[in-house]
Amino acid sequence: MSLKTVIGLEIHVELQTATKMFCSCKNEYGCPPNTNVCPVCLGHPGTLPRINKKAIEYAIMAGMAFGCEISTDMKMDRKKYFYPDLVKGYQITQERTPICKNGFIEIETEQGIKKLRIQRIHIEEDTGKSIHNESGHTLMDYNRAGVPLIEIVSEPDMNSPKEAISFLNNLKETIKYLGISDVKMEEGSLRCDVNLNVVDEQTGFKTKITEIKNLNSFKSASRAMEYEQNRHFENIKNKIEGEKETRRWDEEKSQTIIMRHKEEGNDYRFSVEADIPYIKLQETFIENVKSRMPELPHEKKKRFLEEYKLSEYDANVLTQNKFLSEYFEKVVLEVDDASLVSSWLLSDVLRRIKDLEIEIEQIPLNVNSFASLLKLVKDKKINANVGKKLLRELFEEGDFDPIKVVEERGLIQISDDSALIEIVEEILKNNPQSIEDYKNGKDRALGFLMGQCMKASKGKGNPQKFNELILERLV
C-alpha cells in the first residue's frame, strides 16, 4: 500500500488599505465594535459601492510576486448566501475573472526545490465578525464587514503537512515584503482553510476531501493536518471512503470536529455585480504598479550573496524573514562586518529567540546596543564569551550601553603578551599531568589548560593568544 496525501489551501489575506473595499470607512483593527461602519458596508437598500483602487494595486502586487498572469479585465460578482455576518445577503467577489491566475511558490524539500502552483488570486470583501459570549448570545461586530481581501487558492500540489506549512511561511513572508498586509493570524488578517484527502496509489482508492476551517495559527494548522492525515490513513486501510465534510480544529481536544456534511458543492448562485461597472485595466496602470514593487526575498538573497559575500545558507535564512533581513542590514551599517553580524544573529540571537518562544519581530535587542556589542568583539576589546554573557543580559534586562558596562566592570580583554605569558607559565607549572596527557595524544588536555588560563584571567584573556602561547610551550 502506497499512500499519498493531497493538500490544497485557500488563504484569505486582509489588505492593509486605509479604507474598506467599497466605501470610505476606516480599515482599522481594534476599534470599538460597530464604529467603522456606514450604510454601504451595512448593506442598506439604495447604497452603491465604490471600488478601492489601492486594493486593486495590492492584488496585482501579490500576483506579480507569485509569478501570476495579471488580467486586464476587472469584473466583480455576487456570491449569495445568508448568514448573520453577511449583512447584504451576498458577498462581492470575483468568481469568473480572477485578477491573477497561474502562479507558483517554490519551497525547499529533502528532494530539492518543489514548485507548488497557485490556481488564482481574486479580490473580495470580508464579512463581519461573530462574537459568542458566555451567556450563549452571539453579538455581531461589522467593523470587519467590507474590509478588502485577496483569496489565494493553491492547486492540490502539497503532499504533507510540512510542505503545506512551508508554502504558508513562504507566502506570509512574501506578503510582508510587499507591505500589503500585516498577515497577523491572531488578528484575522491571515486566515487559512485546508482541503485534504489521501490516495492509495497502488489501487487508486481515495478518501473524500475534508475541508478544515477556523485555523488561527500555523501551529494549529500543522497539528490539524497531521491529525486529519492520520484519520484518512486509517480510513484508507479500512477501505472507508468517508464523506465530503467541513471540520474545525479543537485545540483543547487536539482533534478535528465535524461542522457539517457537504453532499454537493455549495450553490452560491453567483451572478454579475451590476452595481460595479466592468473595468478595463490599462497596461500603463499595471506597469506603474510593477515599477513600485519592493525587493522580494529571492532578489534580496541574490544581493546578500553578492554584496555581503555571505554563504548560501546564511543568505537564505536571513532573507526568509523581512524583519530579520532589515535588522541585519541596520547592524551591518554600524559594524561593517557582515560575516560577524550574520554569525551572531543566526546562532546566539536566534537561539535566544527560540528559548524565549517569541517571534523574530519581538527581538528585545536595540540595533545600536547590539552593534556596539559586536564592535567590542570585532575590535578584540572583549572576547566572545564575555560578548555572549552581555548578549544574554541585553535579552533579559533590556537595553543598556555595552561599552559603558564593559568599562565599569573591567571586562576589557587582556591581549598583552607579557601578562598572558605569566598566566600560561603558572598554569603549566601547576598541571604537569595535563602536559603529559597532551603529549600522549589526549587533546582534551589542551581544552583543560585553556579553561584554567581563562579562569585565572577572570574570563578576560584573549583565547586565541592563550591557545598560541600554550601550544608554543607544549611542543
Q: Which amino acid is at 446?
A: L
C-alpha cell at 174: 512574501
Looking at the fold, whether 405 and 453 belong to one and the same domain comes out as no
Cell 490544497, residue?
8
Looking at the fold, whether 241 and 330 belong to one and the same domain comes out as no
Looking at the fold, whether 275 and 327 belong to one and the same domain comes out as no
pLDDT at 237: 92
CB count within 10 Å of CB 346 equals 18
pLDDT at 265: 47
pLDDT at 441: 78
Looking at the fold, whether 100 and 205 belong to one and the same domain comes out as yes
Looking at the fold, whether 470 and 324 belong to one and the same domain comes out as no
Phi/psi of residue 437, each to 5°? -60, -45
pLDDT at 234: 94
- Residue 289 counted as domain residue: no
Looking at the fold, whether 422 and 352 belong to one and the same domain comes out as no
Looking at the fold, whether 304 and 240 belong to one and the same domain comes out as no
- Residue 160 counted as domain residue: yes
Looking at the fold, whether 303 and 269 belong to one and the same domain comes out as no
- Residue 166 counted as domain residue: yes
- Residue 163 counted as domain residue: yes
* CA proximity to 343, closest of 459, 299, 335: 335
State which residues of the chain have pLDDT below 70: 1, 262-266, 413-417, 419, 475
Q: Can you give the pTM of this predicted structure?
A: 0.85
- Residue 34 counted as domain residue: yes
- Residue 149 counted as domain residue: yes
- Residue 316 counted as domain residue: yes
- Among candidate residues 409, 426, 453, the one where a domain is terminated: 409
Q: Which domain holds residue 324?
A: 295-409
- Residue 116 counted as domain residue: yes
Looking at the fold, whether 164 and 313 belong to one and the same domain comes out as no
Looking at the fold, whether 316 and 370 belong to one and the same domain comes out as yes
Burial 60-97 (b: 16+ CB within 10 A, else e): bbbbbbbebebbeebbbbbbeeeeebbbbebbbbbbeb
pLDDT at 380: 84
Looking at the fold, whether 55 and 183 belong to one and the same domain comes out as yes
Helix (H/G/I), strand (E/B), else coil: 311: coil
pLDDT at 414: 65
- Among candidate residues 409, 432, 451, the one where a domain is terminated: 409
- Among candidate residues 363, 381, 409, the one where a domain is terminated: 409
CATH assignment at residue 463: 1.10.10.410
Cell 467593523, residue?
143
CA distance to 39, 251, 295, 317, per residue, from 312 (Å): 54, 38, 18, 9
How many domains, in total, are found in the chain? Answer: 3
Looking at the fold, whether 56 and 196 belong to one and the same domain comes out as yes
